[in-house]
Chains A and B, each alone.
Chain A
Amino acid sequence: MSDAIIASTVLWGFVFIYSVMATMDFGAGFWSMVYLDREKTGATNIANRYLSPTWEVTNTFIVALVIAIYSMFPGAAYTLGTILLVPGSLILLLLALRSAFLVFSNVATEYRKILTYISGVAGILIPALLISVLPISHGEYVNFGDDGASLDLGKLFTSPNEYAFIGFAISSTLFLSSLLLSDYSKVSNEPEAYKVYRKDAMIAGPISLVMAILIMLTLRTEANWIYDKMMDDLPLLIASICFFLVGGVALYLPFFTKHNVTGMPRAAVVAITIQYLIASYVYGKAHLPYMVYPNVTIESGFTDPNSFRAVFATYIAGFAILFPGFVYFWKMFMKDSRYLQKKQSKNPLKGG
């Protein structure tokens, strides 16, 4: 494997981890807004309990991702920075409002409603813009001129392909987050919340599958090169759909616990994660070697070999140092029953 392939694999890994964490994060924010007025189900409570300790950690991943891109592929920095200036800035603006108001909503309890609405709505728009990076990187909306590349916003926002991606981002966010939250509510022993989230997952799941198919259909006409290369891996795509079905079955499957709750959310979570993993592997592989089609490839963008080695060494060292921290964090917030089953009146975060 060449260094550039290793680097793009690392990058792909970051993208995948971030997408799962971000869908959870933005989705949980959205659900906590939707169920704000239905206190007795505890659904908002569950979403907040997940969200409060994790949003900072999730946010750090997006920073890690951006830094990984320009430290491993600085040759792509100029083109990427230029074409992503407008969508990137919009994401940043929304992200700023979202994070700040999320924190504020837990502090200024009297204004909780309006603050939660702002952060919930801003949060659900972010995945829609984030995913737009993918169609932009396919190249049809980029004009390569003599003085660099530029993005044709008009063309981007009139393309059905872009909207298929947006639809997929939003439905996937809702799907993955409700699925994970249903699991989280089950571990937390909150049957009411569990039922709510399981139902949401059952609705959002099929929609996201339809959106994924729409993406393929529109890719075929708009970015045929990547469509063809993805179709080379048709068996894997089919495997991915099979895992989706497994996930669906696991949700419906009767499963006996002391609360008589049906479904096996944990199994569904695993199956669906595998589904997304396979699908994004196929997509990522088809995307290679292009970073921005057709002018920027991973080879042309790749950094100096000395730099790459140094950066890679810090990945290993950093991971070794951080791993125990992540495990401790996981234990504290995902496993500790004292945290998960905290019975609090309205909101576990209520200050004072």
Chain B
Amino acid sequence: MDHVTIARAMFGTTMGFHIIFATIGVGLPLMMLLAELMYQKTNDFHYAVMAKRWTKAFAVLLGVGIPTGTIAGVQLSLLWPGFMEVIGRVMALPFQIEIYAFFIEALFMSIYVYAADRIPPWMRIISLTLVAIGAVASAVLISNVHAFQGTPAGFRVENGRIVDVEPWKAFFNKSFLVTAGHVALSAYTTGAFVVASVAAFKMLKAGAGSMLYGFHKKALMIAVIAGGIFALLTALNGHATTQHVFEDQPEKLAAAEGLFETQTHAPLTVIGWSDKEDREVKWGIEIPWLLSFLAGNSFDTEVTGLNDFPEELWPPLWVHTMFNIMFITGSLLILLAIVTVFWDKWLKKDMFPKFLLWIFVLSGPASVAAIESGWILGCSGRQPWSIYRTLSTANSVTATGNLGLLYTLFIIVYAILGAAVVFVLLYYFKRNTVLDDIHRAEQKGVPLFGSNS
């Protein structure tokens, strides 16, 4: 691999690892909050037990999310100093404000976890709300930098120098809202389906009709309803995102859709892979006219194909696959939620068929896969630019060579952390079962949350 490629791979690996924890770190606090609110509403202490157990999982995940985020933040300036030079001059605000969001999350997370038994319930809910706000704010702000990379604003380049800097104009760049919205909504979707995944797996193990089955079914239902709503919103917003990409980064859209010929009434091609030699998508299924409609709300919209761009400015063609994974997963999640709510509320069945539960088990990993694909589409689809049509990736990279060894070390550490976090979660929840927690909650005088930390 050449120098830039190793740097790209290295940063992509870091982000791909961080995003798993970061996304769950945004989604899970919302689920905890929903459970706490359900508890206040129904007084069914199962919900308090749920919130407590999710908090524990969240605290463990933070143990990886925070250091990998720190790596991401510092690595950005170590690997891409050319990029950070521009960002520092023009787009420092989101990073700066993000720090305050991190502080809010960190302060109130500690209070929620370590002081839960000393503060009144309303303060617990306020703390948790602040944790959730801090988490989603950091996601919104960091995605804004990504938005800026696609639609830079608030400065001009004159003879290679950056002039006329307007930091707030850069902050409110054209795709800020739609991108930030997509990231936040998709994180909530993912958080919910990850919870659903675990709950469904536990239901399969508990066996229909048992008390545990009932407990996990409550968790599943919160997750399905929240997840279904957010999946729908994600898809609606994804439509807006696609239109933005169509307007602002047409080569990315063309690559994502596998469109080579410029045309009106352009078809949407799902599945299949783009072939560079023959300039067409192999084994794809074409839905006539749909792409033109998606891109411009009208079948007459002319969509520019890759053939009209110089080949050296093409993004990698496999982003078509990334787009498919995200798009198909999103659609299936909506379908899954509708079927489940129909089954539960309409047909009023107490039990779920096993195959449905197995689909739920898969839904969490599938959402994470959608997140990964979406980001790889977003970042790799921007290549060869690091800031669209302003700064190339090759001009952003560090001058220090020999990244191979460091890259290897990072991979080893991520592997260790990944294995350890799975092990620790399994270990803890095996030793502290739902029944233990329920038992503890039933006993007077033994604070449930005191054991939270």
Residues of A contacting B115 in the complex (Cβ-Cβ under 8 angstroms): 53, 332-333, 336, 339
Q: When the two chains form their complex, are residues B108 and A325 in contact, meaning their CB atoms are under 8 A apart?
A: yes
Q: Is A108 an interface residue (CB 8 A)?
A: yes
The count of chain B contact residues (Cβ–Cβ below 8 Å) is 74
Q: When the two chains form their complex, are residues A352 and B77 in contact, meaning their CB atoms are under 8 A apart?
A: no
Q: When the two chains form their complex, are residues A96 and B106 in contact, meaning their CB atoms are under 8 A apart?
A: no
Q: When the two chains form their complex, are residues A70 and B77 in contact, meaning their CB atoms are under 8 A apart?
A: yes
Q: When the two chains form their complex, are residues A52 and B167 in contact, meaning their CB atoms are under 8 A apart?
A: no
Residue B118 contacts which of A72, A106, A339 (CB distance < 8 angstroms)? A339
Contact (A311, B103) CB under 8 Å given A56-B110, A104-B424, A107-B60: no
Closest residue on chain A to residue B407 by CB atoms: A89
Q: Is A348 an interface residue (CB 8 A)?
A: yes
Residue A85 contacts which of B62, B79, B102, B104 (CB distance < 8 angstroms)? B79
Q: When the two chains form their complex, are residues B81 and A86 in contact, meaning their CB atoms are under 8 A apart?
A: no
Q: Is B287 an interface residue (CB 8 A)?
A: no
Kindly identify, within residues 51 to 107 of chain B, every residue whose CB is under 8 Å from any CB belonging to chain A: 56, 59-60, 62-64, 66-71, 73-75, 77-82, 84-90, 92-93, 95-100, 102-104, 106-107
Residues of B contacting A148 in the complex (Cβ-Cβ under 8 angstroms): 399
Q: Is B165 an interface residue (CB 8 A)?
A: yes
Residue B70 contacts which of A95, A104, A106, A314 (CB distance < 8 angstroms)? A95
Residue B67 contacts which of A99, A106, A303, A338 (CB distance < 8 angstroms)? A99
Q: When the two chains form their complex, are residues B92 and A77 in contact, meaning their CB atoms are under 8 A apart?
A: no
Residues of A contacting B111 in the complex (Cβ-Cβ under 8 angstroms): 53, 328-329, 332
Residues of B contacting A81 in the complex (Cβ-Cβ under 8 angstroms): 77-81, 84, 398
B447 CB to closest chain A CB, in angstroms?
12
Kindly identify, within residues 290 to 345 of chain A, every residue whose CB is under 8 Å from any CB belonging to chain B: 303-304, 306-307, 310-311, 314-315, 318, 321-322, 325-326, 328-329, 332-333, 336, 338-339
Contact (A59, B70) CB under 8 Å given A93-B410, A303-B89: yes
Contact (A89, B63) CB under 8 Å given A74-B89, A329-B110: no
Closest residue on chain A to residue B63 by CB atoms: A103
Residues of A contacting B88 in the complex (Cβ-Cβ under 8 angstroms): 70-74, 77, 303, 307
Q: When the two chains form their complex, are residues B106 and A56 in contact, meaning their CB atoms are under 8 A apart?
A: yes
Q: When the two chains form their complex, are residues B110 and A93 in contact, meaning their CB atoms are under 8 A apart?
A: no
Kindly identify, within residues 244 to 283 of chain B, every residue whose CB is under 8 Å from any CB belonging to chain A: none
Q: Is B356 an interface residue (CB 8 A)?
A: no
Q: When the two chains form their complex, are residues B90 and A304 in contact, meaning their CB atoms are under 8 A apart?
A: yes
Q: Is A75 an interface residue (CB 8 A)?
A: yes
Contact (A307, B73) CB under 8 Å given A77-B84, A81-B79, A100-B67: no
Residue with the highest number of chain B CB atoms closer than 10 Å, among A60, A72, A326:
A60
Q: When the two chains form their complex, are residues A86 and B67 in contact, meaning their CB atoms are under 8 A apart?
A: no
Closest residue on chain B to residue A111 by CB atoms: B427
Kindly identify, within residues 213 to 233 of chain A, every residue whose CB is under 8 Å from any CB belonging to chain B: none
Q: Hey, which bits of chain B sit against chain A, CB under 8 A? A: 56, 59-60, 62-64, 66-71, 73-75, 77-82, 84-90, 92-93, 95-100, 102-104, 106-111, 113-115, 118, 162, 165-168, 398-400, 406, 409-410, 413, 416-417, 420-421, 423-424, 427-428, 431-432, 436, 451, 453
Known: A52-B114, A322-B104. 8 other contacts (CB 8 A): A66-B74, A80-B81, A81-B398, A86-B400, A98-B67, A149-B399, A306-B167, A336-B118
9 contacts between A and B (CB under 8 A): A56-B106, A57-B103, A82-B399, A96-B67, A104-B424, A108-B428, A148-B399, A304-B89, A325-B107
